[in-house]
Amino acid sequence: MKLAVIGTGYVGLVSGVCFALKDNKVICVDMAEEKIEKLKRAESPIYEPGIEELIEQNLREERLEFTSDLGEAVRRSDIIILAVGTPSLPNGEANLQYIEQAAADVGAAMNGYKIIMTKSTVPVGTNEKIREVVARHTRHAFDIVSAPEFLREGSAISDTLHPDRIIIGIDNPELRETMVELHQDFTDNIYVTDIRSAEMIKYASNAFLATKISFINEIANICEKVGADVTNVAVGMGMDKRIGSSFLQAGIGYGGSCFPKDTNALIQIAGNVDYEFKLLKSVVEVNTDQRYMIISKLRESLGQLNGIHVGIWGLSFKPNTDDIREAPSLEIVETLVKEGAFVKVHDPIAMDKFREQFDHEHIQWCSTAEEAALGCDAVCLLTDWDHYRQVDLRMLGSVLRKPVLIDGRNVFSEQQIAESGLEYYSVGRPR
Ligand code: UGA
């Protein structure tokens, strides 16, 4: 099939690359010309393991093109995928400006019947707005499809090539066959439903996963007080198939461009129809508080923060990405600096992005984990990069001024800690 993908962020680029791998002809469009020039050289604007090799292969085998000419891409394609960003407005609502603009541009460029498929995360009812906007700009017939995306950063390619399920929202039953044909190379597990339900499935899924995380984080906080170990609790809970073992890893909470944005948007969507989503509001509140757990543990161990030296391991919101959007590290580092602490930070790849967002004379940027720990009163691990699992903890004890390790992601085992002689704090595990 001939596809145009509008927007080359995570969702657009990864979808474009994966559809091309399945022998579709794909044109990826972005208005940022410098991005397109890089992509034509197989240089990815996002950090995602394996993506550049796949772009290169698709370009070589002539299944993938990049352009900033939206009109041409639309005219040469049968299916137009909208994958532009829907960032948060100050009140938490999704900003639909980019998607509405893209819909208008697509409508204006249409030269015949097209299927317009939305992959961006959009509030319930948005696809209908998209239909209205497109209709205002074209005389040609078209159909609208909601196809929300469930890929995770850092494993985006394999999530797209091997998804648990694909959700398709349509209101014209005749589209079912084409949609199944387009997606069946990825999985047979395709659920075709109505458009509004498909839109809601995306928000409900992210909100549910965020709820699991905040739930286990609260269990962890209670475990600390009653002497239980949250890691063991999560294993035992996860053995019940109805609960499932994933997303029960306690820590300093979720970040990233999706859970914080989508939970707030869903609270707002409910609010707009006079429904207070109390449970989800608490999930968000618990998540915010959980970040400060690192600060309270530092206080518990060192007393006041003014003048202390703290090593920070990991800045990205999770491993295998350089994305620091809504990362717990931002608030934690800012708080430390405000309290007068000196901070030495390390991250395998996210330091540049962090520095663009927040810099301060109290921050020292370090090229190794060891350097970030050298001479510090404590080290705080904020991102569970594999890199930190490899660090020799006895070495860590020898370079720290005080042997304090605060593990915000429960990365180290009891045995490793026992052998290290460190004063160790983790989340929801006995000390
Ligand atoms: C998330 C969803 O997992 C994807 O299904 C969805 O498509 C995506 O949002 C989106 O809406 O685009 P992502 O934000 O890339 O994907 O990352 P996750 O792997 O889900 O992790 C999110 C955050 O939760 C991270 O900060 C991670 O450290 C934290 N987390 C995750 C925990 O604290 N505990 C866990 O058990 C799992």
Please tell me the predicted confidence (pLDDT) of residue 407. 97
**How far does the centroid of ligand 1 lie from the alpha carbon of residue 192, in Å?**
25
Query: What is the C-alpha separation between 236 and 245, in angstroms, rounded?
Result: 9
Please name the residue whose Cα sits nearest to atom 11 of ligand 1: 258
Please tell me the predicted confidence (pLDDT) of residue 88. 86
Helix residue ranges, H only, 113-242? 126-137, 156-161, 176-183, 195-226, 230-238
Given a cut of 90, is residue 197 above it in pLDDT? Answer: yes
Q: Residue 197, class by beta-carbon neighbours within 10 Å (0-12 exposed, 13-18 middle, 19+ buried)? A: middle
**How far does the centroid of ligand 1 lie from the alpha carbon of residue 90, in Å?**
22
**How far does the centroid of ligand 1 lie from the alpha carbon of residue 152, in Å?**
6
Please tell me the predicted confidence (pLDDT) of residue 92. 83
Query: What is the C-alpha separation between 85 and 79, in angstroms, rounded?
Result: 19
Mean per-residue pLDDT of the chain: 96
Please name the residue whose Cα sits nearest to atom 36 of ligand 1: 247
Atom of ligand 1 nearest to the CA of 246: 36
Please name the residue whose Cα sits nearest to atom 19 of ligand 1: 152
Atom of ligand 1 nearest to the CA of 327: 26
pLDDT in tens, 372-409: 999 999 999 999 999 999 999 999 999 999 999 999 99
Query: Which class in CATH covers the domain with range 2-193?
Result: alpha beta
Query: Which class in CATH covers the domain with range 292-425?
Result: alpha beta
3-class secondary-structure state, position 6: strand
Query: What is the C-alpha separation between 83 and 30, in angstroms, rounded?
Result: 10
- Domain ranges for the chain: 2-193, 202-288, 292-425
ipTM above 0.90 for this complex? yes
pTM: 0.95
The CATH number, out of the four listed (3.10.105.10, 1.10.30.50, 1.10.1040.10, 3.30.1280.10), of the domain defined by the range 202-288: 1.10.1040.10
Given a cut of 90, is residue 159 above it in pLDDT? Answer: yes
**How far does the centroid of ligand 1 lie from the alpha carbon of residue 321, in Å?**
12
**Region class of 244: left (phi > 0), else alpha (psi between -120 and 50), else beta:** left
**How far does the centroid of ligand 1 lie from the alpha carbon of residue 71, in Å?**
35
| Most informative mutation of 254, 290, 383 for ligand 1 (most atoms within 8 A of CB) | 254
Residues with CB under 6 A from ligand 1: 121, 149-153, 206, 209, 213, 247-249, 251, 254-256, 258-259, 262, 317-318
Place of tokens 């009140």: 91
Place of tokens 């934690």: 332
Identical fold at 2-193 and 292-425?
yes
Please tell me the predicted confidence (pLDDT) of residue 134. 98
Closest by CA position to 330, among listed 311, 316, 340: 316
Please tell me the predicted confidence (pLDDT) of residue 262. 94
Please tell me the predicted confidence (pLDDT) of residue 317. 97
Length of the chain: 431
Q: Between β-strands 423-425 and 404-407, what pairing exists: parallel, antiparallel or unpaired?
A: parallel
Place of tokens 């387009």: 182
Q: Residue 238, class by beta-carbon neighbours within 10 Å (0-12 exposed, 13-18 middle, 19+ buried)? A: middle
Q: Which sequence positions are flagged as catalytic?
A: 258
Please name the residue whose Cα sits nearest to atom 17 of ligand 1: 152
pLDDT in tens, 82-94: 999 998 899 888 8
Query: What is the C-alpha separation between 350 and 320, in angstroms, rounded?
Result: 10
Q: Which of 26-40, 85-99, 270-284 has the lowest mean pLDDT?
A: 85-99
Please name the residue whose Cα sits nearest to atom 28 of ligand 1: 318
Atom of ligand 1 nearest to the CA of 253: 33
pLDDT in tens, 295-348: 999 999 999 999 999 999 999 999 999 999 999 999 999 999 999 999 999 999
**How far does the centroid of ligand 1 lie from the alpha carbon of residue 106, in Å?**
31
List Cβ neighbours of 426 (8 Å cut-off, separation of 6 or more): 406, 407, 410, 412
Atom of ligand 1 nearest to the CA of 248: 36
